[in-house]
Chains A and B, each alone.
Chain A
């Protein structure tokens, strides 16, 4: 940072080099707090004919210059630093997922133990995990060798065994890697980086087996004892190697690396970092989702443990057909309140896949696309829940009370009841024509329980704030709070079985009383199977969500976090969509009778003002 102290930093320039777009943001300290000033973007220039990432960076920064009038580039096209008057920036930082991001293969001995810990380390560092090789992954050794040979990862993370345990299995895996002789994805002039983070006793044997064929780095065991993971050394090494090898091979990155004041971070790694930082600082449990064209990333922090998963083939354009194939036609169509011909529908999905940049022009198409998004999010979240677990393979001390609950360990950490905040990003959520649509997509797919705040990162600023949080945490959290998120509001969903499944008598399940900011009381009750929206907006001046005191009284059999039938007094945050009362019960089951289902869907969509009334009546 050129010797600047954090308190001297007033202007921050940050970029995120995505695979298609490079986004630049300018942050300035004004009146004692950091705020986003402007955002610019330009196409990424990693691929031919440009093959120099810095061109896209300069174009995006150029747009920031135009919009602010602040001169950031000198005559030679260099970023001016430090800032003086209306020129330059104090620090410049960047993230990158261009050129396919960081692609890794991980290996371990037992699939559900060391291999899973290695996978967690790689995902947490922001990598795409191409495959997980383990002694017990049910593939024969020659099949594993074929697979390793076929993949061309940026690096391999090898782990296995607890410290002092047996060495044979992990060395066996190393032998397979050696036999496969894998080549790095980018460039041919260097050896493939392999990180060994396994049993310390096996280090010498690993060196002998792999030392000559690959560029071997050894770090602390990521599972030194069964009961504990130690992922940090492996993650840090991944970031170092990402800079040294992967980034250095990508066109123009050597130059970009000399410009930045902090190491360039893989984009998803940076997003994870900001979510973890916010959750730690505010003491909340949070889930973040980024649904893209090809993949869906989910980040979560529960009980202070951070997890990230990437669902490689769940996305809204390149992978849209796969969402359809995995979820099944019925599951997608259950969210659509009108009939569509199957043959026509399948063709539409495939046409979106082969022409991924098209957008829905008709309301009918938008509704259908949002139905697909709900299923993509639902499936990605199922994968996340099964991955974000307590460590497996640990002997658990049980009391007599546990005797009837014999699970094998590895229960999911994801607890929707204690989840405080759900943050969405990615085109289909961020650019939904009505914000309520984003809220309902997240509610229907994640099914938040009790009281959960909802937000979207409308301009996907989280990557830049993630890398900033490593350099200047205060600036990162201030901008995150005030400028990054568009607060949608709060979902209040009592947990309990709803009786409204096919026209049964609908009973009240929750009584509420909100004391609004103007002092007025809004009170009422919500019936089983009903949804309602109560406006509670953002503060006009500050853009910060307004709050209200709430008294929530769930009926017998329904729980809002304080136990069944127990009253909850709390503060509720508003947002552009306000308070959403969801009386559909948890577990949530849609009516099976098509007529009732369509009627209910329309009822909810009208209650929350999701789509125009006339469109719902027409379709």
Chain B
């Protein structure tokens, strides 16, 4: 029997989710192993070195750089305030004087007698890392951060925008095929994670922002609307830092595509529960996909029947999703895996598989154009 492996997106009812919450620089960890945390709990904190403001004091005073040390009123390492005079010069027997004021508050980092340049290091910038999940601290990385773990439902999206957030799930569509329009969104959606069906319109996204919803999870999104919403055409799929007032998780792809039945039913069954979502996507080496985590509230150490499914690859009977035209978005099961290369309509030769769709029809698809529906 033929064998192939095209990893798909995870959609699972119950799994242990562990996230590393690490500071950009070493700092203080504020929690310990076993502590219960909420998404907004600050787990670690540090101070980033302040921004550096360089300016050429020799030029301002009109002196040669090698003389700068004679005119500086502040030495390296000393603190200065914004607007404070840090260097002064006198000429024509003291008749004329010029002075140089600091452009920023901070510490004198260096004074150069080669260039006449003085660098002022601004005040340190505090950075805090939150827990993101509702769970428990399971590991502490000394001075670096922690690992937070929870049991919960886990849904991986294909593309998203916006960073980490959390809110109560609210399903506003009848089924996985319905388009999420602005008419379905009202004030009740404030602070909620809204679940839509096959597509979210541009107006609906704007409405969701205006009613201060936390996020939207939906099957498809039009690229044209994405461009209008972002204000620019997204060139490469590296997202997560947008500040649009909402996070979006697209589960299937661009265009109108029904959300996979399984994903929709899972979200529907969790209506009213808190979901932690992250739109960050990076499609390069070290892929990051957007996600929805719905934590279970309870004892995290309670033994669960953890089923470690061995990934046996693509085999007959395995559920798959077609991810390119002409059957884009269709779901079915692998019905045959012919081993030989086959010529496609485009005349390319590729390894293919036969898929039986839900309506019983069959089609030949390149293996590269399907993904496994993972548990």
- Chain A: residues with CB nearer than 8 A to chain B? 19-20, 47, 100, 141-142, 145-146, 167-168, 171-172, 175-176, 178-181, 205, 208-209, 294, 313, 318-319, 321-322, 324-326, 342-344, 346-363, 365-366, 431, 433-434, 612
Query: Would you call A363 and B345 a contact (CB within 8 A)?
Result: yes
Query: Would you call A175 and B223 a contact (CB within 8 A)?
Result: no
| A362 and B255 in contact, given A313-B236, A319-B236, A354-B159 (Cβ under 8 angstroms) | no
Query: Would you call B347 and A363 a contact (CB within 8 A)?
Result: yes
| A433 and B283 in contact, given A321-B234, A354-B253, A362-B325 (Cβ under 8 angstroms) | no
In the complex, what residues of A have CB within 8 A of residue B233's CB? 321, 324-325
A145 to B109, CA, bound (A): 13
Contact of A434 among B234, B281, B326, B347 (CB under 8 A): B347
Query: Would you call B369 and A205 a contact (CB within 8 A)?
Result: no
Give the residues from 92 to 142 in chain B that come closer than 8 angstroms, CB to CB, to chain A.
Answer: 109-110, 112, 114-117, 119, 121
Other A-B contacts than A322-B235, A325-B233, A361-B345, 16 sampled, CB-CB below 8 A, are A19-B285, A141-B54, A145-B54, A172-B112, A208-B114, A319-B236, A321-B237, A346-B222, A347-B254, A350-B159, A351-B253, A356-B283, A358-B323, A358-B366, A359-B344, A362-B326
| A365 and B346 in contact, given A353-B283, A355-B324 (Cβ under 8 angstroms) | yes
Q: List 8 A-B contacts (CB under 8 A).
A: A168-B115, A346-B222, A351-B254, A354-B283, A356-B283, A358-B324, A359-B368, A365-B346
A346 to B369, CA, bound (A): 18
In the complex, what residues of B have CB within 8 A of residue A356's CB? 283
Query: Would you call B117 and A175 a contact (CB within 8 A)?
Result: yes
Query: Would you call B369 and A167 a contact (CB within 8 A)?
Result: no
The reply on B17 being an interface residue by CB < 8 A is no
Give the residues from 326 to 357 in chain B that come closer than 8 angstroms, CB to CB, to chain A.
Answer: 326, 328, 344-350
A156 to B98, CA, bound (A): 38
A356 to B283, CA, bound (A): 8
Please name the residue on chain A nearest to B324 by beta carbon: A358
| A347 and B52 in contact, given A179-B110, A353-B237, A361-B346 (Cβ under 8 angstroms) | no
A281 to B255, CA, bound (A): 53
A347 to B222, CA, bound (A): 6
Contact count A vs B, C-beta below 8 Å: 165
Query: Would you call A346 and B235 a contact (CB within 8 A)?
Result: no
Query: Would you call A347 and B237 a contact (CB within 8 A)?
Result: no
Please name the residue on chain A nearest to B58 by beta carbon: A168
A362 to B128, CA, bound (A): 50
User: In the complex, how many angstroms separate the beta carbon of A385 from the nearest chain B beta carbon?
Assistant: 22
Please name the residue on chain B nearest to A99 by beta carbon: B285
| A361 and B224 in contact, given A325-B235, A326-B235 (Cβ under 8 angstroms) | no
Query: Would you call B369 and A361 a contact (CB within 8 A)?
Result: yes
Give the residues from 165 to 193 in chain B that come closer than 8 angstroms, CB to CB, to chain A.
Answer: none
The reply on B53 being an interface residue by CB < 8 A is yes
Contact of A357 among B49, B326, B368 (CB under 8 A): B368
Query: Would you call B345 and A142 a contact (CB within 8 A)?
Result: no
Give the residues from 224 to 250 in chain B that come closer than 8 angstroms, CB to CB, to chain A.
Answer: 224, 226-227, 233-237
In the complex, what residues of B have CB within 8 A of residue A362's CB? 325-326, 344-346
The reply on B51 being an interface residue by CB < 8 A is yes
| A344 and B345 in contact, given A318-B236, A358-B368, A359-B366 (Cβ under 8 angstroms) | no
Query: Would you call B368 and A172 a contact (CB within 8 A)?
Result: no
Query: Would you call A172 and B117 a contact (CB within 8 A)?
Result: yes
Please name the residue on chain B nearest to A343 by beta carbon: B224
Query: Would you call A178 and B347 a contact (CB within 8 A)?
Result: no
In the complex, what residues of A have CB within 8 A of residue B115's CB? 168, 171-172, 175
Query: Would you call B285 and A433 a contact (CB within 8 A)?
Result: no
| A355 and B347 in contact, given A179-B109, A361-B324, A361-B365 (Cβ under 8 angstroms) | no
Please name the residue on chain A nearest to B370 by beta carbon: A358
- Chain B: residues with CB nearer than 8 A to chain A? 6, 49, 51-55, 65, 109-110, 112, 114-117, 119, 121, 158-159, 222-224, 226-227, 233-237, 253-255, 281, 283-286, 323-326, 328, 344-350, 365-366, 368-369, 371
User: In the complex, how many angstroms separate the beta carbon of B164 from the nearest chain A beta carbon?
Assistant: 20
Query: Would you call B285 and A167 a contact (CB within 8 A)?
Result: no
Query: 10 closest Cβ contacts across the A-B interface?
Result: A322-B235, A433-B347, A366-B346, A347-B255, A346-B223, A325-B233, A347-B254, A350-B254, A141-B54, A358-B324
A456 to B227, CA, bound (A): 37
Query: Would you call A100 and B236 a contact (CB within 8 A)?
Result: no
A357 to B366, CA, bound (A): 11
Query: Would you call B325 and A361 a contact (CB within 8 A)?
Result: yes
| A171 and B347 in contact, given A145-B51, A351-B254, A358-B368 (Cβ under 8 angstroms) | no
In the complex, what residues of B have CB within 8 A of residue A366's CB? 346-348
In the complex, what residues of A have CB within 8 A of residue B368's CB? 357-359
Contact of B323 among A180, A343, A351 (CB under 8 A): A351
A178 to B121, CA, bound (A): 12
In the complex, what residues of A have CB within 8 A of residue B344's CB? 359-362
| A351 and B324 in contact, given A175-B112, A359-B369 (Cβ under 8 angstroms) | yes
User: In the complex, how many angstroms separate the beta carbon of A279 from the nearest chain B beta carbon?
Assistant: 32
A324 to B226, CA, bound (A): 15
Query: Would you call A363 and B323 a contact (CB within 8 A)?
Result: no
A347 to B233, CA, bound (A): 12
In the complex, what residues of B have CB within 8 A of residue A433's CB? 346-349
In the complex, what residues of B have CB within 8 A of residue A358's CB? 323-324, 366, 368-369
Please name the residue on chain A nearest to B227 by beta carbon: A346
Query: Would you call A351 and B328 a contact (CB within 8 A)?
Result: yes
A352 to B323, CA, bound (A): 9
A433 to B368, CA, bound (A): 16
In the complex, what residues of B have CB within 8 A of residue A171's CB? 112, 114-115
A384 to B117, CA, bound (A): 37
* Most chain A beta carbons < 10 A, residue from B158, B222, B233: B233
In the complex, what residues of B have CB within 8 A of residue A181's CB? 49
Contact of B235 among A172, A205, A313, A361 (CB under 8 A): A313
User: In the complex, how many angstroms separate the beta carbon of A176 from the nearest chain B beta carbon?
Assistant: 7
Contact of A346 among B55, B224, B324 (CB under 8 A): B224
Please name the residue on chain A nearest to B51 by beta carbon: A142
User: In the complex, how many angstroms separate the beta carbon of B227 from the nearest chain A beta carbon?
Assistant: 8
Query: Would you call A175 and B54 a contact (CB within 8 A)?
Result: yes
Query: Would you call B348 and A318 a contact (CB within 8 A)?
Result: no
User: In the complex, how many angstroms separate the beta carbon of A306 from the nearest chain B beta carbon?
Assistant: 29
In the complex, what residues of A have CB within 8 A of residue B119's CB? 175, 179
A324 to B234, CA, bound (A): 10
